[in-house]
Amino acid sequence: MAGEASSGTFLQGLERGLAVIRAFSAQAPSLTLSEVARDVGLTPATARRILLTLEQLGYVRTDGRQFSLTPRVLALGWAYLSSLDLGELAGPYMEELSAATRESCSIATLDLPDIVYVARVPTSRIMTVALGVGARLPAYPTSMGRVLLAGLSSSELDVYLANMQTEQLTPRTVTSASLLRAAVDQARADGYALVDQELELGLRSLAAPIYNSRGRVVAALNVSAHASRSTPESLCEEVLPHVLCAADHITTALKHRGHL
Amino acid sequence: MAGEASSGTFLQGLERGLAVIRAFSAQAPSLTLSEVARDVGLTPATARRILLTLEQLGYVRTDGRQFSLTPRVLALGWAYLSSLDLGELAGPYMEELSAATRESCSIATLDLPDIVYVARVPTSRIMTVALGVGARLPAYPTSMGRVLLAGLSSSELDVYLANMQTEQLTPRTVTSASLLRAAVDQARADGYALVDQELELGLRSLAAPIYNSRGRVVAALNVSAHASRSTPESLCEEVLPHVLCAADHITTALKHRGHL
């Protein structure tokens, strides 16, 4: 433990280092030392030590003034995705689902208060990087969020509902805790969730849960469709059976694989 | 700096924490404390502090015995993608390239000794998650690797060639440092690289460099094709002009955008 002290068991240097990595974004692809210090809430001396450590490890590069992340950072997210291994396992079923419904489909997991995309099959060949793997959306106005919230324990759901920050994203967005709880209960009872233009006008989405071998909801599978190409009724009649079937296949494949 | 000491400016806790995240993989989706300690080369006490810190920050979860990563980890790796922004910028050109050549195309950057995929347009709708964003391949037997190596300074290339670990992946794989240097020099002179079944029998690939506004190679664009559908000659005649044109468009778009 030479040269490594901290309060209790918590490693503050690690926390701060991860916060520095997260400070970079599309809006801030490169940052100066003082910008990093300000954004993360560190002294310049601490920010400097973290940036130099990250540079030495190959996660950050600098021209002397501006710092930016390197592709090595992808190895961190990749560790999660490959350990989840859901994309590869679910891929063929998602392909089938997308072909059968002619709509794009996705898998997301929960990282409260958000859902995080872990696999996606777009309909057209247009690359929608904006909703690619790793993209995040708030849980409350999305169909995948609803079925994932339905998989929480009741105390976890209580905490989420008590603390959630909602926004009236469209005139249809459910923002009250009691109505959202009812929608989540409904999703649990139904085994799926339909969300009709609550995230974005013109977008309807249908999701079903994926379970691990212990019966816990670990992910959600969805199909989303332009409102112009669907009605809630047509989604339930024509798309829902395919979604439920694919989610079931993925659940079975997960069981056979064992982990998660 | 309360509670945070280290040797010089280097934060060992940060280095070790990142190494622990990378210890998880498809082969090891969950690990015990002692497995983490062994794999990363830490004492159990240090491994424990790191895992508890990561758990407290939400990057790791545990059932008390087994530890695994959470989707929050994607907030680290994928912050890079959004900051690089290459996928989004290059997307339309990659779509055109893939449509014109009817083959899948990819963009990768260099993280020695590997290349890392940062964007991909598959030909068919079959999701090849195994080569999705974040996937890594060794640089030496790949066309993108060759053009990226050609963009290194001569001293960086010397270090790589002196230390590279090669494997005879196919009967055609170039594994000697002198032949590889010749291939990299050729790629630099030609402005593209063609690799013929060195990574995998049946796979040919053609790559061209993408430059930033300072003329530095920052990424490579490739098209890969099954050997049954192409000859090296047909690739150079029919596919190469499209690859060079798309790489040129992406380079121009990067210049206009400014950063990188």
Tell me the per-residue pLDDT of B70-79, one tens digit each, with 9 for 90 and over. Answer: 888 888 866 6
| Superfamily of domain A85-257, CATH level 4 | GAF domain (3.30.450.40)
What is the C-alpha to C-alpha distance for residues B141 and A144, in angstroms, rounded to an integer?
41
pLDDT of res. B8:
66
For B57-142, where are the alpha helices, taking DSSP H only?
74-84, 86-101
Buried b (16+ CB within 10 A) or exposed e, B111-138: bbbbbbbbbbbbbeeebbbebbbbbbbb
What is the C-alpha to C-alpha distance for residues A148 and A219, in angstroms, rounded to an integer?
7
Helix, strand or coil for residue A98? helix
Average pLDDT over residues B132-145: 88
| Residue A225 near residue A196 (C-beta atoms within 8 A) | no
Task: Single out the residue of A248, A247, A252 nearest to residue A119, CA to CA.
Answer: A247
Residues 6+ apart with CB under 8 A from A50: A13, A16, A17, A20, A36, A42, B11, B14
Residues 6+ apart with CB under 8 A from B255: B212, B213
The alpha carbon of residue A191 and the mean position of all alpha carbons in its chain are separated, in whole angstroms, by 20
| Residue B116 near residue A71 (C-beta atoms within 8 A) | yes
Contact B74 A75 (CB under 8 A): no
pLDDT of res. B11:
87
Distance from CA of B60 to the nearest CA of A (A): 10
pLDDT of res. B222:
94
Distance from CA of A23 to the nearest CA of B (A): 8
CB-based burial label for B101 (10 Å; 0-12, 13-18, 19+): buried
| Statement: residue A136 has pLDDT above 90 | no
The alpha carbon of residue A93 and the mean position of all alpha carbons in its chain are separated, in whole angstroms, by 20
pLDDT of res. B258:
52
Size of interface A-B (CB pairs under 8 A): 263
Contact B14 A17 (CB under 8 A): yes
In A, minimum Cα distance to B48 occurs at A9
Task: Single out the residue of A183, A194, A180, A248 nearest to residue A223, CA to CA.
Answer: A194
Per-residue tokens: A133: 């793997």
Residues on chain B touching A134 (C-beta within 8 angstroms): 74-75, 77-78, 81
Sheet holding B60-62, edge to edge: B30-32, B66-69, B60-62
pLDDT level of residue B104 (50, 70, 90 thresholds):
confident
Q: What is the DSSP string of B166-226?
A: ----STT----HHHHHHHHHHHHHHTSEEEESSSSTTEEEEEEEEE-TTS-EEEEEEEEEE
Q: Which residue in A4, A93, A95, A96 has the most chain B C-beta atoms within 10 A of its own C-beta, making it the best mutation to test that interface? A: A4
In B, minimum Cα distance to A44 occurs at B1
What is the C-alpha to C-alpha distance for residues B94 and B99, in angstroms, rounded to an integer?
8
* Domain extents in chain B: 12-74, 85-257
Which CATH number is correct for B12-74, 1.20.1250.20, 1.10.10.10, 3.40.50.150, 3.40.50.2300? Answer: 1.10.10.10
Average pLDDT over residues B208-215: 87
**What's chain A's Rg over C-alpha atoms?**
21
Q: Which residue in B73, B86, B107 has the most chain A C-beta atoms within 10 A of its own C-beta, making it the best mutation to test that interface? A: B73
pLDDT of res. B20:
96
**What's chain B's Rg over C-alpha atoms?**
21
Contact A24 B98 (CB under 8 A): no
What is the C-alpha to C-alpha distance for residues A36 and A31, in angstroms, rounded to an integer?
6
Residues on chain A touching B71 (C-beta within 8 angstroms): 80, 84, 109-111, 116, 118
Average pLDDT over residues A121-136: 58
What is the C-alpha to C-alpha distance for residues A172 and A195, in angstroms, rounded to an integer?
10
pLDDT level of residue A123 (50, 70, 90 thresholds):
low
pLDDT level of residue A51 (50, 70, 90 thresholds):
very high
Q: Which residue in B1, B14, B212 has the most chain A C-beta atoms within 10 A of its own C-beta, making it the best mutation to test that interface? A: B14
Tell me the per-residue pLDDT of A152-208, one tens digit each, with 9 for 90 and over. Answer: 999 999 999 999 999 999 999 999 999 999 999 999 999 999 999 999 888 899 999
